[in-house]
Structure 1
Amino acid sequence: MYQKLVPIIAIFLLFTSCREEKTDSRVKQVKGDTEALSFYDEGLLPKDFEACKSGNCPKIRVNYLKFREDREAARAMNQYNEKILTKIFNNTEEDTNAENIKAAIEEFITDYQNFKNDFPSSEAGYEIEISQSVLSQTKDLLVLETDFYIFTGGAHGYGAKRFANFDVTSGELLEKDDLFSDLEAFKDFAEKEFRKKYKIPEGENINAKGFFFENDKFALPENIAVTKNRVILVYNRYEAASYAEGELKLSIPKNKVAQWLIY
C-alpha cells in the first residue's frame, strides 16, 4: 500500500510546486540603488466585467502595475496610482468619480451601452487601452510611465503619456515643485533647450513655429520624469501644439541640470 502511495504523493508535490512557481512568476522586482520593490501586472479585459457578459461591450485592454504591499510606501504608491489611472477617464465627455480603475471602466461600459441603446444603428465603438511600466528607479525615486488611448466616437480618439514620480521612502507622488529646488531656473534652461531643438531663435515669439503656448510664454509640460541619467519632458497632444503634431519630447542630460534637482 505504501509503495503505491509514493508515486501519487510525488505527483501531487510536483503539481503543487509547479502551481506555486507559476503564481510567483507574476511577481517582478524593481532593482535600483535601494531595496527592491516587488510588483505584478494586473490585467482587465471585457470578460472581467459582468456587464459585458450579457450585452454590448467596448474594447478593453488594460494592464497596470500593483506593488506588493509589504511596506507603507508600496501601499501609498498603489493608492496614488489608482487615482492616476482613474483620471484617464476624465478625457471622456463626463468626468468620473470612480474610486478605482475597475469602477471607472464599469462606468465606461455603462456609457457605451447607453449610447448603443440610444443609437443602435451606429457603428461607432468605444475603446480604452492602458499600459504601464517602470521607467526608472534610483535609491530615492521611482518613475512610472503610463500610456493610454481612449476613444468615445468622433474623428479620432485621444492618446497620451503620463509620468508619475514617487518618493521611494514615503511612497508620496511628487509634483514638479517637489523635484526641483529652483523650478523657474530649470524652466529657463528648458526653454533654451526647446528653442534649440525646434529652431526658434532667442527673442523670437515662442509660438513662431506654430506652437500655442498660452500668452506666448514658454511653459513646462504636465509630464516630467527624473530618471537615473536624464530629465524627460513630454508635451502631450494639444498641450503645446496641434493634434497632428503628436507628442513633443525633450530629453535633457541630468548632469546639465543637477544644480536644480532635489532627486
Structure 2
Amino acid sequence: MKKLIIIALSSTFLFSACKNDSKQENKNDPEKAVTIKEQTLQINSSTIESNQFDICKENICPEVQLEYLVAKGKYSEKINQENEAYLIEIFNSTPSPSSVDNLEEAVQKFINDYFKFKNEFPETPAAYEAEISQEELIKTDSLLTYKTKFYLFTGGAHGYGATRFLNFNLNNGNKLTNAELFSDPEGFTAYAEKRFREKYEITSENINANGFFFEEDTYKLPENIAITEDEVILIYNPYEAASYAQGQLELVFKKENVKKYLNY
C-alpha cells in the first residue's frame, strides 16, 4: 500500500514538474510564445465614421457609421482582404460605383457623391445615410462566420437594408462558397424547398404561386447561409426571392435535423 502511495505521489510530482517546465520554457523562449499567439485567431472591432473626415468638420455630411471586424493571427491577412473587398462591394451598390482600394476611400467616395448630389439638387431634403455593422456569428476550429447588417440610403423612395453572411474555412483562410458548406447540396436544397413551401403555404406545383419570383420557377437556396452550433440559417434579402414590401425572408433549421447534408 505504501508503495502505491509513493508511486502516485511521484507521478503527480513529475506531471506538475513537466507542466511547470513547459511554462518556464515558453517564458524563457519569447519567440515560441509569440508563435503560439500568432496561431490563435483573434477577432476585433474597428470603426469608421463620417466625422473622421476633414470635409465633415466644416460641412454637414451624410451619416456614416461603419463598424467592422478585423482578424489578427493565423490566416488573418487573407480573411481581412476578403472582408474589406466584401464591405467595399456594399458601397458599390450605390448609384455611382467605382473601384477603390480600401474602406476609408469607399466612405470618402460615398461622402463626395452626397455633395455632388446636393449640388445638382440643392432643394431636395434627402440626405445620404450608410450604417454597416458586423459581428462574429461563430468561430470553431474549422469555420468562421461574419454576420453583416447594413442599410444604405441615397435618395429615392426608400433605402435598402440587408443581412449577409461571410464564411471562412479556418484550415486555410479561404472564403467558402455556399456549396462548400454542404456535403450534399442537392439533398439540402430539396429539404429546404419542402420547409419553404410549408412555411409560406405554397400548395401549387409552381414555387412562385404565392407572389415569389424565383428564376425559371425553380426553388434556389439564398445567397446568405450560416451554420452555427445549433442551427442552419437561410436569409433571402429583399428582391432576392420576393418584393421589397415582403421584406427579409428567413428559414431556420435545427442543425441536428440536417447534419447529414453538412460539411461543418
Cα distance in 1 between the residues matched to 2:119 and 2:200: 48
Which residue of structure 2 lines up, in the alignment, with residue 47 of structure 1? 51
Q: Percent identity?
A: 48
SS of 1:121 mapped into structure 2? coil
| Structure 1, gaps ≥5 residues long | 1-34
CA contact (8 A) 1:56 1:113 kept: no
- In the TM superposition, what is the alpha-carbon distance from 1:226 to its structure 2 partner? 1.4
Please tell me whether residue 226 in structure 1 is matched to residue 227 in structure 2.
Answer: yes
Give the number of the structure whose residues are more often helix, by fraction: 2
Which residue of structure 2 lines up, in the alignment, with residue 151 of structure 1? 153
Cα distance in 2 between the residues matched to 1:36 and 1:255: 29
Cα distance in 2 between the residues matched to 1:254 and 1:44: 36
The within-5 A match list for 1:42-191 is 42-68=46-72, 70-71=73-74, 73-191=75-193
Cα distance in 2 between the residues matched to 1:186 and 1:198: 18
SS of 1:91 mapped into structure 2? coil
Which residue of structure 2 lines up, in the alignment, with residue 13 of structure 1? none
Give the AA of the match of 2:258.
V
Q: Name whichever of 146-155 and 40-49 sits farther off.
A: 40-49
Cα distance in 1 between the residues matched to 2:231 and 2:139: 12
CA contact (8 A) 1:165 1:226 kept: no
- In the TM superposition, what is the alpha-carbon distance from 1:51 to its structure 2 partner? 2.5
**What is the CA deviation profile of residues 50-108 of structure 1, one whole-angstrom value per residue up to 9, with x for unaligned ones?**
2322434111111111112x32x112111111011111012211223112221111111
- In the TM superposition, what is the alpha-carbon distance from 1:207 to its structure 2 partner? 1.1
SS of 1:103 mapped into structure 2? helix
Give the AA of the match of 2:198.
K
SS of 1:130 mapped into structure 2? strand
Cα distance in 2 between the residues matched to 1:207 and 1:149: 27
CA contact (8 A) 1:137 1:228 kept: no
**What is the CA deviation profile of residues 117-140 of structure 1, one whole-angstrom value per residue up to 9, with x for unaligned ones?**
122222111000001001112221
CA contact (8 A) 1:162 1:223 kept: yes
| Paired residue total | 226
| Structure 2, gaps ≥5 residues long | 1-38
The structure with the largest alpha-carbon Rg is 2
Which residue of structure 2 lines up, in the alignment, with residue 257 of structure 1? 258
SS of 1:257 mapped into structure 2? helix
- In the TM superposition, what is the alpha-carbon distance from 1:197 to its structure 2 partner? 1.2
- In the TM superposition, what is the alpha-carbon distance from 1:36 to its structure 2 partner? 5.3
Q: Name whichever of 87-96 and 138-147 sits farther off.
A: 87-96
CA contact (8 A) 2:50 2:56 kept: yes
CA contact (8 A) 2:50 2:107 kept: no
